Structure 1
Amino acid sequence: MTAPGRRSSTFSRLLRHGFTDPSAAERLLESEELSGVRNDPVLLDALGATADPNLALLGLVRLLEAQPDRTARRVLLDTLIAAKPLRDRLLGVLGASAALGDHLARHAQDWQALVTYEPRDLHPGVEEFERGLAEATDPVSLRVAYRRCLLSIAARDVCGTTDVAQTAAELADLATATLRAALAIARAAAPEDAELCRLAVVAMGKCGGHELNYVSDVDVIFVGESADGADEQKAIRAATRLASHMMRICSETTVEGSIWPVDANLRPEGRNGPLVRTLSSHLAYYQRWAKTWEFQALLKARPVAGDLELGEAYVTALEPLVWKAAERENFVTDVQRMRRRVVENIPAAEVDRQLKLGPGGLRDVEFAVQMLQLVHGRGDTSLRSGTTLDALGALAAGGYVGRTDAAGLDAAYRFLRSMEHRIQLYRLRRTHLVPEADDDLRRIGRSLGLRADPVAELNREWRRHAAVVRRLHEKLFYRPLLDAVAQLAPGEIRLSADAARERLVALGYADPAAALRHLEALASGVSRKAAIQRTLLPVLLGWFADSADPDAGLLNFRKVSDALGRTPWYLRLLRDEGAAAENLARVLSAGRLAPDLLMRAPEAVSLLGDGDGGAGGLEARERAHLEQEILAAVGRADGAQQGVTAARGVRRRELFRTAAMDIVGSYGTEASPATADQGALVDLVGGAVSDITAATLAGTLRAVVREGWGDTLPTRFAVIGMGRFGGHELGYGSDADVLFVHEPREGADEQEAGRAANAVVSEMRRLLQLPSADPPLLIDADLRPEGKTGPLVRTLNSYEAYYRRWSLVWESQALLRAEPVAGDEELGRRFLELVDPLRYPVGGLGDDAVREIRRIKARMESERMPRGADSTLHTKLGRGGLSDVEWTVQLLQLQHGHREPGLRTTRTREALAAAREADLVSAEDAAILDEAWVLATRVRNAVMLVRGRAGDTFPSHGRELAAVGRYLGYGPGHVGDMLDDYRRITRRARAVVDELFYGG
């Protein structure tokens, strides 16, 4: 028994040395196998230096127990205590790998493989490993010899004798030696097959790239030829048998476990293709059928076993095809799509723990490096390494990647690969998931030298390096181009034009020569402005490239920069506020409207920031605040024209804010175009544009009255919004449908009051349509009584007399959207009281009125649809479009508005929701109509944003159509899906309209 005082002292000492279970450690130290050394401080210090002291101590006791006799045990202990290199290596392996501890317990003399510590032992290559495997004659002995070699690699790794790149290279060399040994065993088992054929084994993936993991599929491709004039078919069958046997030797599980799976699925046609092909067959496939990813995989192809001359011939024959892959049509799109698929296939529960495939993982580094290699390696052979870190170094040396960025990626990649190695080494299992248990994280952290708080430090370092990878992943594409353009003298630019052009073409720029000129103008020189531009442009180029028209985005950015380049806050805003630069890139490359608005007032760039200033960022401003600002500007102006100019300037800025908000809010992912609440965004845009228009009319009215009559007009005057304006549903290019109403003030002459009212209307319309840089605002009063032939403005009594005697059912329908928007609020309220009985008639509509509305709608569909227009894609008059939905909702309002207060609204979606609540429409039908109305409205908004002019149909120009698709959430190549979805959604809506509006 151990004395209590001594036990307490030992317990504390074990805790200080990192033992997480000191009680178990005490029991192991008291075991007979450790008698004589249990109190040796050298042993305890050595155990405490391992990744997991408890695991190392348990492994040591098991190894001692496995020794054949007491003498062998004594030799092991004496050597362990006397020889620090062995002590560090053996205990280091035992503390990091339970699997290798199991191997040593089964093969008690293999510890001697760790004794040698000479320079020639530090970095063994294929030949040394082949000698270590030479005595293996069957799968079982091969596995034992393989694990013995693996012991020495792991020992050098955990002791820091080799770095992660050297360890990965040694693992690849060991795999090479193992494939050769396995092939030799297969040949020995079938000598007649070996005589018939030449068989080359070409390593792919991490083995081919000299960067293998501890446990990984070893990807290979087999090439076969006949030997000495043998029949080719017989030779390929013989080669296939040899290849299959070689794969089984490595992959199958025996009493000694397995080595690793040999995976030949990267071969032509994958699992469906023949396992072995001739060189000519391989070449024919890659010339005619291979996909982009297959050429990317060939970057790492390397002959490793069998007929190396044939393997070299394979690599040499395919090399020209690999370095032309970037010239393939849709090269970038194909690679991006492949990458998205990889991320999408990660189970949701594993995304945050994926070291390899997740965001900021190893695949991000490898993917970016390989993409740059394929793009630039065509003309620069120094980039053609199959090893990720070597290729990254070559990219940095060649100026394709900034040295700082390359160093950051190099460090992150090494750390992540080291984590991956330590995770796999523990059980020698193939995994790329970071474990969740604290004990596992503690062991990994300690093995990487994190000792103060291993779990917290590991998580912190892992997240930090992953963030570096995420940040630099996209930047890696673009930064070298800009550095090259910025650092070359004008006379030298031609020297790099071809390489630069290739990079821009790969990113989707249609006019790379013009793009190069813009980049040179923006980023060349030694000024502070140029330095900041060189920092911004790499990321901006990527965001531009993510749009349908990257060339326009870059051109517009140059124009804005030229206009604001000397403004001190401009570049600081883009550099220091993360949202501003991305928002600007999205806005400038999304179409014509927003850039046109911005070019007329470049200082509006400030709205794209984080919104802390008075401008309020991209949040829509309330109508009251807009009106207050405009009225104040009008009050300061010198005359009506200057006042309206000020009002139009505010309107231009606010339209830009709304368009930018819309674009940024709509820029979702290609994979899920319907993730955002599109209905809310449509309401927000429609409400914002309507409020801007109302505030502009209020300011214009104030300016006109102020100049002509001073503070008081001889008549009370109100503007009534109609149509989409009254419904808070204006689009960017919509006219403002209005009615004008006035009422002479008490004691005023009625004729004078009428002349004043008409003069106000005429002057408002004139001033708002004066030619200027601001977008026009057209006032449309055609919904007034008697239409174009009637007076522009009437008194309230005149309206009452007309509606009482002459009003038609279509006018009642039009009045459903009447809402005061400017002028005398009391007069506007009284106008609504006047028209409410018309638009919400007691008892609803008679049958004749319903038939008349249906007749007008049918006539409109047949007469107003533009000739040659596709009715399935016309957003306003087409099948299931805006008119269909709105007329259906308005018919319900006319029929039931008197008894259902919820229907008494000018807003289409609000009225539809009220109809659903009142059980006038089923929830399913309401949802169908709402979806169609929102989609058609978004398409109209998109067309205006993209083309800069209004339109009711999808654009016919391919790039404009793609830009509309991008706004709607459809990525490259999915325009057809967009049109199909539109037709499907509106077809369903039309079926509901036929039932509800036309009565089935």
Structure 2
Amino acid sequence: MRLPLPSDLPAALQPLVARNRQFLREALAAHADLDPAVLSDAHWAQFDQVAAASEFVLEQVQREPGMLLELVARGELAQGYAPGQLRSHIKAAADAAQSEDELARNLRRARNRQQVRIIWRDLSRQADLGETCRDLSDLADASIDEAYQWLYPRHCQQFGTPIGSRSGQPQHMVVLGMGKLGAVELNLSSDIDLIFAFPEGGETEGVKRALDNQAFFTRLGQRLIKALDPVTVDGFVFRVDMRLRPYGSAGALVLSFNALEQYYQDQGRDWERYAMIKARVVAGDQQAGAQLQDMLRPFVYRRYLDFSAIEALRTMKQLIQQEVRRKGMADNIKLGAGGIREVEFIAQAFQLIHGGRDLSLQQRPLLNVLATLEGQGYLPPAVVSELRDGYRFLRYTEHAIQAIADRQTQMLPDAELDRARIAYMLGFADWDAFHAQLMHWRGRVDWHFRQVIADPDDEEGEGELVVGGEWSPLWEQAQDEEAASRQLEEAGFKQAGEALRRLSVLRTSPSLRSMQRLGRERLDAFIPRLLAQTVEHQDPDLVLERVLPLVEAVARRSAYLVLLSENPGALRRLLTLCAASPWIAEQIARFPLLLDELLNEGRLFSPPLAPELASELRERLTRIPEDDLEQQMEALRHFKLAHSLRVAASEISGNLPLMKVSDYLTWLAEAILDQVLALAWRHTVARHGQPKRSDGSLCAPSFIIVGYGKVGGIELGHGSDLDLVFIHDGDANAETDGAKPIDGAQFFTRLGQRIIHLLTTQTNSGQLYDVDMRLRPSGASGLLVSSLGAFERYQQQEAWTWEHQALVRARVLVGCPQVGAAFERVRAAVLGKPRELGKPRELDTLRAQVSEMRAKMRASLGSKATVAGTADNAFEPGLPFDIKQDAGGIVDIEFMVQYAALAWSHEHPALLRWTDNIRILEELEQAGLMPAADAVLLREVYKTFRSASHRQALQKQAGVIDAGQFVDERRQVRRIWSELGL
């Protein structure tokens, strides 16, 4: 198809003719050395046609009218160039440069001159589509190569000559032109897609400080781009796009041949195969470039019939369709339905499927490929004829759009003047006539496309939406940073630049760089889905920040990516939990096995009760051989991680109130301690035999684990440690009955050590709990395990008041029921009686001791800025309030409860029935020891403070909030503290 000459100028363009002629005359008159007589009537008529259509040509000839006269005088507007003629012009411009700035200036001016010539011949129909595309591609080839040839020797002079470590020969860069440049099909205003490579590693020679070849060519590539890409007062040479290189804009600018081959072999994706079809050496070392293309050919063309290419292209097209719909680009003649891209996809589908076996398909220019498809019988002649004519019409339209202002766009214009220009350039009387013909060809192209590529089950031809497809171009860097930022901002990101940076960091992370192709494809499918769901959240910036470390952690185990891609509900729950809690996000990132818990929504948000917890853990451990301690430890950790996540998820979702959260976390700890004790007992007995009681009977096990603090008070939080005391009731001197007997004291010490080892050892799944044993008799200097008798003597005779306060919250967690009952009797006797047996505690002394201990804690642990909440500025917004340690906080309430239990439990034993503060407060109210209003207030404030503390923990923040919060509650707590005389 060759379009007719433009028809007579339409009325809408006629006012431009007089204006344009006047502009040119004025420009010529300003240069006395120019002779306007060079322009014949025919030239003026052509000028009217061209300048009325192209603002770019008008601007150039106004700016430099001598250029137009020179083109006319040399006959360059009247006939095409001979082979090599265009390059000679560019070479002359480059050779005349004495500096890089002058090189850039000369190349831009030479480019503008050639653009005027090419557009003039195109619009006056002296050149057909093939000549126009060939001239534009030759212009790019010459500009890139001549700039490179000018820069290379000067770069070597500065940094040395790069020498290959294997060959010992000087190295040159290879520049691959991709896309339309590679296929010699460049547009009037195309970007040029390039990939830079060099043959082999090594170092430069001839200078004092050698550079490795990678650094040498990287710097050279940067200088080459600078010569071509930036817009100056003279315009630009070509906009350079390097995003098709491995890893996109985050990858190395230049790679060695081996690195390129390795990348495409291990990680190359379908769209990169598609792009590499058109790759051509456009500059640099042509001989080395031919070797590189031979190396990469197996990646592009498979030796078998590769029908998987159809599905890959179909998916790519669906993604493009989604992008078109999202951006309202139906009028895009490249990407829209029936556009240029669909013709390219048809041709390249056959190339990818059959090209490995049919070498005739291994070529770049699309029209040549269509001819081969017809000649080899892949497509009927009538189909090829329509595709060829439709493609040419679309390309002529694309050139017309871009000729107006030298802008890279394929969108049909809205402005009436530009519409009139396009209709005129395409040879139509008006826009309606042109548009009708355009839609005819788009309809035919789309019909053929659907016959070849579209899903045969898709009757509407629209294609099932690719989930998250609108985000694929952003992730794969198929759009520039400005467009990507705009898309993120429109979707709700407040810090689009930071979001792009985070994605770039992920894209270039070592774990992703070393991924195999299958894993990379799974990641490419997952990230758009992730972004699509992320933007549904109120704060997508926060969600992305928290979830990307998890993605990086699991990327090498891409089955997890498949899990989340194939289970959108699981992905949705993951993002919800990460949005709510960085603690959860970090847990899942550290232990990706937790992702399995997201699959079952009902199970995730419904943690089991205590008996079910214990039963489930026992069942898990029974499946593991008794002698496989490593698996047993992993199973315990998996269990703890999974159920901790379920509790946190239930708390965040509102399914569990605060008190229930602590209950579940405490039950979980007890179930684990029960099995840990059993494992430790079995292991220690297997080595030494069973210990004995004082009556000679065997212990089974006559051992208990007592919990203090939060675990004792049934108030565990997320990440809480365990305050434990170990007590036995065996004979410390009697030997065990095993092959390697030891005395009872040694046995129980080793049993305790084994328990701590099982709890605290770090494995791949972390540790079970941090354990604090400092509340045992005599603290860190005391025995690890105490006998029940020694424990009782210590508590009655040596323990400090603060140790009795701690005993208020102590209870048996697991172990021998008989020893547990004996411990409870000891506890009741110690807390309910004074040191001098039979007399009640001296309240003044008790108050003084409790107050003194509390003052010490405030001084060492409270907020310094408010003197632990006691200064006049304690309620001033902007200052800190430590929820636990400052005056009016959690510890004040705990100390009041402990004081009450110590002061009055000898008369009211019910105060010792419980170890948790809430129920002790209820007992104080029931006994009339505290006004009901105060008891209720303390319970509610205590729950409020603990709830706030839980929220801080889930946000991975210290338990410190603004002092302007909870002012009334803190004042009331301090009032009651004062009224108790503390």
Q: TM-score, normalised by structure 2?
A: 0.44
Larger radius of gyration: 2
Q: TM-score, normalised by structure 1?
A: 0.43
Higher helix fraction (1 or 2) = 1
